[in-house]
């Protein structure tokens, strides 16, 4: 039986696009202050999860919502289960958008919205792949379970809860990365440098804030300062304007008597590739490092300036490289300092590390370099170790074969720093939906997905699921 998967997608592309638009209109950012027992990650992730599961009900699938943490859409029967993992939560939209991030806009063959490429667009492409298999009544020897999460961008508490109540599929993939395939993912752990709130000195740091998530390069940073000499304020402003002129940033400097407010604008990016962004916080700290802050404020600014552009952990003396998995990367994502507040002042250091080192070794190394009596180094309790599925595994071989058949291009294995639900399974990988040469806008302003890529991915997903489960 020969199936023209591209034609099947073409027949459904308008419906796919309308379903995706409705999903993108839901602001599904996690909101901790609005969490309830019924909405464990806030109202947005719950609404998006229920909306996605409602598509499954509409189309006649067996559907289960697991207490608004996660859910699944089932098709077929068999002793083995193929799992496909997508997620409905998104990182905060942040600033710098040309359009409303939650009102999808189609322009120049692209759909713009938060979640369009990470991960609502790819999830919808994969869902329509499953829908095509069901619509055609294709016989399967395995069950396909499409699992929908709602906390992938934060702590994966959705999957922790889900697997406490549901069995894990035997093998599978997540449409949340790149083609041809991602069969290896670096380890992922976050360390926090914690500071006190004292701020004595010739200049006084009142506050410093930057960042939205540990896995995002902060695109903006703000600091409030008290300067005791108004002449110094004029000099500081001149110094700042020269600093901005010299570096790839923008900024504002506002003063009122002895109070100064400084804002720096850089460029956000995915925390797995910190070198592709412009970290506004470390640039601001580098500027402020020339001034005379005291005690905890001095330690905070000095530390933030010290790690400026330390993308590979070289200054922190934890650099490491593996032949297959590549180099360790480090993203400084969250910065908070409030004068006279003793708890909560911190800088987050998110590491994506290859085989050959461990989270504990990273913690030990960082503590040796920047840990002092006034700076505590704390390891987050969630550590994901490096993950790899061999290229000769039948799952990997089949997915590469499907990619090659649809594109005419040779497929090859790849390891990334980003973490996907593919690593939830021992035999789990990430598979699309971004094609080689794509423009990466994940976790950035003006996120988009190419419509041609969206539809081409849907055809690949349909064929891949059928070959794996027939």
Max Cα distance, the chain (Å): 82
CA distance 378 to 399: 40
Among 8, 89, 170, 310, which one carries the catalytic annotation?
89
Residue closest to 176 by CA, chosen among 119, 216, 225 = 119
C-alpha distance from residue 470 to each of 80, 137, 217 (Å)? 11, 11, 42
Q: What is the C-alpha separation between 202 and 291, in angstroms, rounded? A: 8
The partner residues of 171 in beta bridges, in order of sequence, read 82
**From CA 450, how far away is CA 438, in angstroms rounded?**
9
Catalytic residue among 152, 178, 185, 413: 152
Number of neighbours of residue 167 by Cβ within 10 angstroms: 9
> How far apart are alpha carbons 289 and 287 in whole angstroms?
6
Is 167 in the active site?
no
Number of residues that make up the chain: 470
- The pair phi, psi for residue 249, each rounded to 5°, is -135, 170
Q: Which residues contact 115 (CB under 8 A, 6 or more apart)?
A: 23, 24, 28, 88, 90, 121, 447
Question: What are the backbone angles phi and psi of residue 357, rounded to the nearest 5°?
Answer: -140, 170
Chain centre distance of CA 408? 30
DSSP string, 55-89: HHHHTT-EEEEETTTEEEEEE---SSEEEEEEE--
Is 89 designated active site?
A: yes
- d(CA 241, CA 35) in angstroms, rounded, equals 42
**DSSP label at 467?**
H
Nearest to 173 by CA among 137, 119, 135: 119
Number of Cα atoms under 13 Å in the Cβ half of residue 256 = 2
Q: CA dihedral defined by 246, 319, 362, 298, rounded to 10 degrees?
A: -30
Helix (H, G, I), strand (E, B) or coil at 268: coil
CA distance 93 to 418: 19
CA angle (130, 135, 136) in 5-degree steps: 100
User: What distance in Å separates the CA atoms of residue 188 and residue 202, rounded to the nearest whole number?
Assistant: 40
- Provide the b/e sequence for 128-143 (b: ≥16 CB within 10 Å): bbbbbbbeeebebebb
Active-site annotation, residues: 89, 152
């Amino acid at each position: 039986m020969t199936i023209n998967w591209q034609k099947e997608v073409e027949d459904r592309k308008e419906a796919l696009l309308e379903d995706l638009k409705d999903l993108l209109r839901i602001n599904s950012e996690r909101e901790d202050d609005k969490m309830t027992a019924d909405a464990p990650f806030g109202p947005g992730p719950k609404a998006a999860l229920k909306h996605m599961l409602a598509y499954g009900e509409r189309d006649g699938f067996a559907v289960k919502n697991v207490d608004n943490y996660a859910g699944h859409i089932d098709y077929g029967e068999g002793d083995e289960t193929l799992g496909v993992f997508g997620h409905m939560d998104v990182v905060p939209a942040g600033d710098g958008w040309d359009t409303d991030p939650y009102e999808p806009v189609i322009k120049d063959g692209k759909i713009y919205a938060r979640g369009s490429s990470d991960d609502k667009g790819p999830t919808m492409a994969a869902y329509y792949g499953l829908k095509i298999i069901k619509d055609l009544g294709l016989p399967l020897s395995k069950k396909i379970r499409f699992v929908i999460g709602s906390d992938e961008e934060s702590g994966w508490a959705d999957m922790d809860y889900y697997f406490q109540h549901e069995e894990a599929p035997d093998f599978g993939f997540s449409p949340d990365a790149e083609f041809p395939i991602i069969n290896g993912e670096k380890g992922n752990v976050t360390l926090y440098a914690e500071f006190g709130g004292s701020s004595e000195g010739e200049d006084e740091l009142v506050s410093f804030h930057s960042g939205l998530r540990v896995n995002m390069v902060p695109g903006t940073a703000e600091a409030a300062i008290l300067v005791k000499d108004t002449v110094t304020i004029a000099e500081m402003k001149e110094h700042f304007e020269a600093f901005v002129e010299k570096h790839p940033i923008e900024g504002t400097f506002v003063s009122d008597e002895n109070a100064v407010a400084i804002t720096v604008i850089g460029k956000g990016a995915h925390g797995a590739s910190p070198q592709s962004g412009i970290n506004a916080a470390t640039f601001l700290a580098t500027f402020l490092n020339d001034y005379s802050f005291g005690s905890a404020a001095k330690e905070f600014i000095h530390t933030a300036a010290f790690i400026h552009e330390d993308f590979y952990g070289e200054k922190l003396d934890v650099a490491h490289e593996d032949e297959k998995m590549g180099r360790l990367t480090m993203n400084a994502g969250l910065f908070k300092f409030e004068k006279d507040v003793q708890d909560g002042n911190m800088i987050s250091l998110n590491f994506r590390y290859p085989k050959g080192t461990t989270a504990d070794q990273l913690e030990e190394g960082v503590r040796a370099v920047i840990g002092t009596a006034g700076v505590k180094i704390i390891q987050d309790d969630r550590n994901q170790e490096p993950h790899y599925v061999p290229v000769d595994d039948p799952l990997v071989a089949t997915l590469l074969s499907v990619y090659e058949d649809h594109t005419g291009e040779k497929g090859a294995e790849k390891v990334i720093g980003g973490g996907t639900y593919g690593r939830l399974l021992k035999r789990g990988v990430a598979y699309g939906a971004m094609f080689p040469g794509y423009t990466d806008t994940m976790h950035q302003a003006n996120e988009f997905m190419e419509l041609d890529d969206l539809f081409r991915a849907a055809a690949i997903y349909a064929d891949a699921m059928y070959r794996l489960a027939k």
